Amino acid sequence: MISSIRALGSKIPLAKNVRHATYLILGKPGGGKGTISKKILASHEGFVHISTGDILREEVNKGSEIGLKAKGIMESGGLLPDDLMVDLVSTSISSLPSPPKHLLLDGFPRTMPQAVALDAVVPVEHVISLDIPNSVIVERTSDRWLSPSTNRVYSYSYQPPKVHGKCDDTGEDLIQRDDDKPESVLKRLETYDEMTKPLNDYYSEKGILQGFDGETSDVIFKKVTKWLDGH
Ligand code: AP5
Ligand code: MG
């Protein structure tokens, strides 16, 4: 087990590619990780955001080999294999045009082996953990629409597009994620409890986890900003 984890970790050439701090954003599916990440990027300089879910959705759209493998797993609410995800994150970071000041990882790590693999090569300084009630999540995900080419997220109750059904930036027809069907969302919440929730204890014991709760991303983001500006 340990050697296979080391083998995973050895594939991530992160340390030299991040100049300052590595932040993780953890939380349930539909819990606002993407929304809060975009707000951090818009208000704080030097962050580069890598969302493994966004990368996988791009691969699915392209019909690549990874995308074909990912499609069914994502739709059913399961997780892709750890070694594939470690390779994917590794490639994304090494292909950044220049080393970011801060790296914000969203959706990775999602299992203990992924967390240990990451630790083996780059120190994680800060973990932003979002806590939203499950009842809010099921409601939100059914209302979530995306721009197919940019992954910009809209919600008719929270951030509606200017023209119904069209992306503000590209004018394309908005689409819904296949894994936002209620049965898929419930399975993703189960997978989260089983595989990802333990990461909260792991980072909490290291003393680097900062928890933020609330029912809306606006309320949570005010708390995140206060904390980001204060440390
Ligand atoms: P991923 O894309 O990471 O999905 P997720 O963790 O399930 O999270 P989401 O992207 O669904 O939600 P979010 O927390 O970003 O919330 P958002 O800001 O959109 O991964 C997808 C799949 O890929 C996984 O299931 C797995 O199969 C695979 N995968 C990815 N990484 C992997 C890994 N490391 N290992 C293995 N497999 C992996 O917000 C949600 C909604 O709320 C939006 O509609 C938004 O508009 C709305 N909203 C936000 N704020 C408010 C507000 N204040 N009021 C009302 N609505 C609001
Ligand atoms: Mg997301």
Residues 166-198: tens digit of each pLDDT: 999 999 999 999 899 888 999 999 999 999 999
Query: What is the residue type of 192?
Result: Y
Whether residue 107 is predicted with pLDDT greater than 50 in this model: the reply is yes
pLDDT at residue 15, rounded to an integer: 52
pLDDT band at 40, cuts 50/70/90?
Answer: very high
Ligand 1 atom nearest the C-alpha of 177 is 11
CA atoms of 167 and 98, how far apart (whole Å):
29
Q: What is the SS3 assignment for 154?
A: strand
Whether residue 202 is predicted with pLDDT greater than 90 in this model: the reply is yes
Q: At what angle do helices 82-94 and 52-62 cross, to 10 degrees?
A: 90
Ligand 1 centroid–CA 77 distance in Å is: 12
The strand pairing partners of 105, in sequence order, are 24, 50
Q: Find out whether the beta carbon of 71 lies less than 6 Å from any atom of ligand 1.
A: no
202: burial class by Cβ within 10 Å (0-12, 13-18, 19+)?
middle
Whether residue 8 is predicted with pLDDT greater than 50 in this model: the reply is no
Query: What is the residue type of 213?
Result: D
Q: Provide the mean pLDDT of the chain.
A: 88
Q: Find out whether the beta carbon of 92 lies less than 6 Å from any atom of ligand 1.
A: no
Q: Find out whether the beta carbon of 74 lies less than 6 Å from any atom of ligand 1.
A: yes
Ligand 1 centroid–CA 3 distance in Å is: 31
Ligand 1 atom nearest the C-alpha of 106 is 3
Tell me which long-range contacts 124-127 makes (C-beta under 8 A, separation of at least 24): 124/22, 124/23, 124/24, 124/203, 124/208, 125/21, 125/22, 125/23, 125/208, 126/21, 126/22, 126/23, 126/24, 126/208, 126/210, 126/231, 127/23, 127/24, 127/25, 127/26, 127/203, 127/208, 127/209, 127/210
Q: What is the SS3 assignment for 174?
A: coil
Ligand 1 centroid–CA 22 distance in Å is: 20
Tallying the residues shown for the chain, one arrives at: 231
Whether residue 10 is predicted with pLDDT greater than 80 in this model: the reply is no
Ligand 2 centroid–CA 29 distance in Å is: 7
CA atoms of 93 and 100, how far apart (whole Å):
9
Q: What residue spans of the chain are helical by DSSP H?
A: 2-9, 33-43, 52-62, 65-76, 82-94, 112-119, 134-142, 182-191, 198-205, 217-230
Identify which ligand lies nearest to the alpha carbon of 143: 1
Q: Find out whether the beta carbon of 129 lies less than 6 Å from any atom of ligand 1.
A: no
Identify which ligand lies nearest to the alpha carbon of 140: 1
pLDDT at residue 64, rounded to an integer: 96
Higher pLDDT: 200 or 219? It is: 200
